[in-house]
Structure 1
């Protein structure tokens, strides 16, 4: 790798440091209780521009880490500033006539507030006239309550812009499958790994995720079409809609008066994910490339600076156009060649071994796989078209991991023989195969200390070799849990109280349907009418055949009628109040069979966040 990539090219280092206004000597951010939610200091003890890559870190990933560690307040161009290195994402401040327009206020209220405090200290105190959410991922809106309040919005002092369907996707992604995604995000972002050269180094897009208070405030202004223009506090913004690219709801923003293009997360200085390792719906690589082509056609000739929600900006029209074309062609090539090989009969696993980028794309630093990777992106494209089944009859109804593992180990000659052979393969550097073999030993016998240790050793070596930050984190978190057990604390609560409260009743009832324990509900029939006094809406809920169905309006016959505000139901869900407390306070009125509602709530599962991953 050292010889195949242009490590002598230092242009990125110049760009990443350009425009520095100020940075604090130390950067540790705490919540109101004194808990650390973001700490760059631990990283600074072993990462620096003057430090060579350790043996335990891929040199290309180390280069990206050195760049991402450039933190502080930066001037992008006249009237546009960014605070970088205060979270996984950047927060951007665009200066208007009297105040700020803020783009993407980070993950946590605490980190967003700290960034705003830095801006206020160095550039003067100004009100926030608008917040723009570029898309529906939590690192682009979660810190909003750290910089504005409900009163700011209600008084119309501050507007909140977002792309069409933002709220729907922000809520559904973080709630419907949020528990599983949140657990897997612990692996993907390495937030719990030790901060040293053998542990957490870089998340690809930024160092890692903050662990403060994730919030949500609903948009006041919804952007619906490309070319839609809004002027706020004297700042003209032209929006380009890009749904179905990096997020289901996303938009870029062009500032014609500044010749500046905000790319949201549609282009960053890395290959992005077609399918993120934490889990999500598969993205459309072909559509992604087509929107980047549209960016070039609509805004290319007029852009002199390009900046985005992660990494550092670029300046100069020719340089930006070359960058956009190579990012566009990265996704187009990955799509076209994956589908080409798919149509020749190769499976996703085989395609991931075969596909290679041409040198002009592969050796371009912003196309390197620090966050996404060519291997798992090609599999994602296969999945989008063909699904989980690879066409081989053996794969159609294969045994689950633990059952298969017992047979594999038996065929290997038993646990001791499998471990002995795997140790020899480990010494030969065959880490991928050792991990595959030891996975079966661990799933066949979860108490196998030797099997766990050897599997952890193999995962650790693959982590050290990984160019992708998330791949490194996944491998090292797996090794950590094999050696120390499943954690019991940490991670980010994506289904935050703000998110739950923002759910419309229909989405809330869909979530209830997911939480309903089907086997427990089998044979039961419960009919409830719900009257939300604050929404002036009524719904009928029916549990039958082990499923929950709902409809607008009341049922002609029901076991009970519930009258309450949606806020009351939210409080019961969030365990801020109990069912009995809500009834006794008068917040919930139950007519008919009160036990029916209690029985219904008793059928709803709560999900254990810390489920096992590397052990059965």
Structure 2
């Protein structure tokens, strides 16, 4: 078990997590079961049978798939007879062409509702500016570089990988199922595929009875679950996610292989699944309790905390998702955008609020002075909020953006969530580019 993150600063804890969880390796989980970790944002597994192999998930690019296949070929040269997609996120399906091109014509298995929200067709439905794509770039820190703007990881994968053919190697499944379960028999291996909505509606998990190994896709990884993705996502049903985890705990698991991060073996595998389920259900229960008390999302994030017996578990540290984001997502997913306070039915616009705040401060220059004071005093979140007001007013935009960028970088170092850090740093880089180009 890794050291407690409390022994490190937030940035050090994040770096330690990345070093442990995403170091390049092909791990033998148990005889005949190998997992490639750190070659792509997601893991790929290889199950070795009598006369061939089965691949579970295929990487985010054809380049990463080639790297993974080369490593697998150091273990066995048996032909690939089947491929399984645990779900449609492109980091799990985009290397399939590489595995298929070996010439063994494998069957490809998935649920019949397989979907990739980041494919071009779905992005076009978001709108002409492809805001989901832009926010995805920020979340994963794409383009964030050294020296200070250090991308520690992509959240659930290494900071860099072979991105040649990014998102280009997907091949549609040849075998799908719509019910609760599907059997798969290939190369002398008997598997069971189960419907498991959670992080995505199209999720499945794979049970390998002979090895007592469960491949859980993205419904469990060694970080607090990404119940809400800050890149933007439809509501991920917390109750269904917890129910899927509960179903997994009913199997006599000896080996748990996530879609990201390193596998777990022994009693800890079942314990981790149960703790994950319990953490999600606690967020649901406590948030609902606060909602029934009339608390707004801003109030709920202070109200809902994990108890120490869960908060202290390494695999529930906020290296990816966070409890506050989850609380806000549950509120929005169940009650919608309105927080219940009639003040917020038709609120002032950002510019109107900034103008009135400036009046209270003694004018625009006085408000800007408060921004400078907050920045100099290390009040970085308040500096962000004041900077947004100055920018909304259309005065002193360049220095306000410079201060905002500096505050984002400072806050990034206080994060344990890699995607929060990435978003801060990517946005800061955008602001720096605007000020450098004279765009205000």
* TM score, norm. by length of structure 2: 0.91
Contact persistence 1:225–1:239 (CA under 8 A) = no
Query: C-alpha displacement at 1:209, in angstroms?
Result: 6.8
Contact persistence 2:47–2:54 (CA under 8 A) = yes
Change (3 A) 1:409 1:291: same
**Matches of 1:169 and 1:9, distance apart in 2:** 35
Per-residue CA deviation, residues 559-597 of structure 1 (Å, 9 max, x unaligned), is xxxxxxxxxxxxxxxxxxxxxxxxxxxxxxxxxxxxxxx
Provide the secondary structure at the position in 2 that maps to 1:398: coil
Query: C-alpha displacement at 1:62, in angstroms?
Result: 2.3
**Matches of 1:485 and 1:272, distance apart in 2:** 34
Change (3 A) 1:288 1:133: same
Correspondence for 1:389: 338
**Matches of 1:168 and 1:86, distance apart in 2:** 21
Correspondence for 1:220: 174
Provide the secondary structure at the position in 1 that maps to 2:427: helix
Correspondence for 2:46: 93
Per-residue CA deviation, residues 185-234 of structure 1 (Å, 9 max, x unaligned), is 11111121114454211222112475432132111000233342111111
**Matching of residue 200 in structure 1 with residue 151 in structure 2:** yes
Change (3 A) 1:170 1:201: closer
**Matches of 1:97 and 1:407, distance apart in 2:** 74
For residue 191 of structure 2, the aligned residue among 225, 229, 237 is 237
Correspondence for 1:310: 260
**Matches of 1:124 and 1:96, distance apart in 2:** 10
How many pairs were matched up? Answer: 432
Per-residue CA deviation, residues 230-267 of structure 1 (Å, 9 max, x unaligned), is 11111111112112x11010000000011111011111
Structure number, greater radius of gyration: 1
Provide the secondary structure at the position in 1 that maps to 2:155: coil
Provide the secondary structure at the position in 2 that maps to 1:263: strand
**Matching of residue 186 in structure 1 with residue 127 in structure 2:** no
Instruction: Map 1:504-523 onto structure 2 (within 5 A).
Output: none
**Matches of 1:448 and 1:157, distance apart in 2:** 58
Query: C-alpha displacement at 1:436, in angstroms?
Result: 0.8
**Matches of 1:415 and 1:64, distance apart in 2:** 44
Poorly superposed stretches of 4+, deviation over 3 Å: 6-10, 167-175, 195-198, 208-212, 399-415
Query: C-alpha displacement at 1:69, in angstroms?
Result: 3.6
Change (3 A) 1:291 1:228: same
Query: C-alpha displacement at 1:472, in angstroms?
Result: 0.7
For residue 425 of structure 1, the aligned residue among 347, 360, 374 is 374
Per-residue CA deviation, residues 535-555 of structure 1 (Å, 9 max, x unaligned), is xxxxxxxxxxxxxxxxxxxxx
**Matches of 2:145 and 2:3, distance apart in 1:** 30
Query: C-alpha displacement at 1:325, in angstroms?
Result: 1.1
* TM score, norm. by length of structure 1: 0.66
Change (3 A) 1:446 1:208: farther
**Matching of residue 289 in structure 1 with residue 233 in structure 2:** no
Query: C-alpha displacement at 1:167, in angstroms?
Result: 4.3
Per-residue CA deviation, residues 9-28 of structure 1 (Å, 9 max, x unaligned), is 69xxxxxxxxxxxxxxxxxx
**Matches of 2:148 and 2:44, distance apart in 1:** 28
Correspondence for 1:596: none
Contact persistence 1:136–1:170 (CA under 8 A) = no
For residue 139 of structure 1, the aligned residue among 91, 103, 106 is 91
Correspondence for 1:123: 75
**Matches of 1:487 and 1:162, distance apart in 2:** 48
**Matches of 1:118 and 1:385, distance apart in 2:** 45
Correspondence for 1:607: none
Contact persistence 2:87–2:115 (CA under 8 A) = no
Per-residue CA deviation, residues 140-166 of structure 1 (Å, 9 max, x unaligned), is 1012223224x95xxx82101011211
For residue 158 of structure 1, the aligned residue among 106, 110, 115 is 106
Correspondence for 2:270: 321
**Matches of 1:466 and 1:229, distance apart in 2:** 43
Q: Could you say what the CA RMSD is over the residues aligned between the two structures, in angstroms?
A: 2.6
Contact persistence 2:190–2:209 (CA under 8 A) = yes
Provide the secondary structure at the position in 2 that maps to 1:262: strand
Name whichever of 63-72 and 394-403 sits farther off. Answer: 394-403
Contact persistence 1:285–1:331 (CA under 8 A) = yes
Unpaired runs of 5+ residues, structure 2, are: none
**Matches of 1:246 and 1:331, distance apart in 2:** 12
Change (3 A) 1:400 1:144: farther
Correspondence for 2:303: 354
Unpaired runs of 5+ residues, structure 1, are: 1-5, 11-51, 489-614
Change (3 A) 1:321 1:447: same
Instruction: Map 1:483-522 onto structure 2 (within 5 A).
Output: 483-485=432-434
